[in-house]
Chain A
């Protein structure tokens, strides 16, 4: 395939706006800010440059599919879809309100969201069903499913990879947002996942590991899909929980946050490199 040029500066500007939205969603009830910030760059890249889908082709038969299985990072998806015109940016102000459907997990009331999620380990198999339908039709649509790394604790993920491998579905790509944290603690301190490439390879997948915040690497890797004609593909995207906000980056206690209005403004300043925010709010324990 001819490699497309990408405008990295434009992607970075878009990712910055997406992160601003995520921070603004982390008040008045809050959101899963850490996981949202870690996968923001991947989502921005996929919807801007990779997936054959747009606000005018939401039901197009030839569209590509993205399934966000780690549903709690949906603020990154809301923000990306809103910025790219799938729905009005002003709707983000309806976050957690009963007059809209902008809640803590994805749902199909939001234009661009193909399937709801929230319970971990589900969408790898749902996405596999879509990939199989495309295989039956002989289509070229790509199917991407994004999981968290903590989500890899769920046996159903591995069940699905066994089946994907058995049917040699090369239109199926699992992307792991490898931010090294699950809800309460570092993955390697609870249920160690490394060596992760070897695990996926042993399950019959063709694997690449990249820096999930480096647009050049992300682009080069996705352009090489499928990595094998005989196997499903896996991209392990090494990321940083809370990426973009040094005061919450890579911290076990910054998973779900409900900041004050002042803290949100301070975090926006921090995002733009003005000065580090001083945070008093504690992480809420919801798990």
Chain B
């Protein structure tokens, strides 16, 4: 099973689903002859695609729409917010190459504010699966939810066997008393390896794969804050508006504090390169993350 076969199965099973793309066919190349009129390619028109999806949704359809993450969330933002968001229509956004996954494309293609933007829209559900397997576990729930949703598509091969997906629930990989790592999306692999490296140094380390950023699993995070001395956030997103902000908002809402070590892009875009080199250049490989965390712990 992959994204395309799951989508094909879902759409063929239920007339309400429509597949749309603004000429981004990388994930869905084989579907046009199979889905016929229920495959709509609007060409390079993200705004029109989103408006059209809203019109289809008004008629009871559930459009699953595809574009590169930046063009979908930035070019068409007002259409998402106004036509999909205000009436809370079940339009399902599949965003391709978000975060570090745009690799060597350069800043025009770096979606590093997509989580911030999408979670600002009332009723929008925001998902960032850890890898392909985690995504395939989540998509049936995402697509059948009555709300609009945004999903960071992630085709990285899994290095972990994930638990079943439950909407609004994080996946607790381990619990730890020294520190807990909160992570979402493609950096899960690096976080998992970091967990192993830190554990081998004798530390008690927790790891939480958040999966869903809106709704966010508040209880899970609060438990981690309560039982760990440090919280580490790891994300391929701007520091503003993503997980670090979500955590800050939650802590303030609950009138508690925590010792937080954030890994994110602070007011800058990343060096365009292939993923492995991006991770190394930006300090997001597991050995680098481990080193940074140990350094922080030593200094405090």
Contacts and interface: CB of A to CB of B under 8 A. Distances in A.
A37 B120 CA distance: 37
Interface stretch (A22-30, A95-103, A158-166): A158-166
Interface stretch (A44-52, A117-125, A186-194, A233-241): A117-125
Contacts of B58: 114-115, 126, 129-130
A96 B213 CA distance: 37
Contacts of A153: none
A124 B87 contact: no
Contacts of A135: 37
B50 interface: yes
A176 B124 CA distance: 33
Nearest to A136: B37
B118 interface: no
B145 to A, nearest CB: 20
Interface size class for chain A?
A: 20 to 34
A116 B47 contact: no
Interface residues of B, number: 28
Contacts of B82: 119, 122
B83 A126 contact: yes
Interface string B18-59: 000000000000000000011010110101111111111111
B80 to A, nearest CB: 11
Nearest to A67: B55
Given A119-B78, A133-B61, A128 B52 contact: yes
B100 interface: no
B42 A130 contact: no
Given A108-B87, A116-B86, A160-B51, A122 B57 contact: no
Contacts of B60: 133
Given A119-B82, A163-B42, A126 B87 contact: no
Given A115-B58, A136-B37, A156 B51 contact: yes
Contact of A163 (B37, B45, B63): B45
Contact of A133 (B51, B55, B86): B55
Contacts of A123: 51
B45 A159 contact: yes
B127 interface: no
A123 B58 CA distance: 12
A128 B78 contact: no
Contacts of B56: 129-130, 132-133
Interface in A55-74: none
Interface in A140-177: 155-156, 159-160, 162-163, 166-167
Contact of B48 (A130, A131, A133, A156): A156
Given A116-B86, A132-B56, A136-B37, A126 B45 contact: no
3 residue pairs, one from A and one from B, having the closest CB atoms: A129-B55, A125-B51, A133-B59
17 contacts: A108-B87, A115-B54, A119-B78, A125-B48, A125-B55, A129-B58, A130-B56, A130-B58, A133-B56, A136-B37, A156-B51, A162-B43, A162-B48, A163-B42, A163-B43, A163-B48, A166-B43
Interface of A: 108, 114-116, 119, 121-136, 155-156, 159-160, 162-163, 166-167
Given A127-B55, A129-B56, A159-B47, 8 more contacts: A115-B55, A122-B79, A128-B55, A133-B60, A136-B37, A160-B45, A162-B48, A163-B52
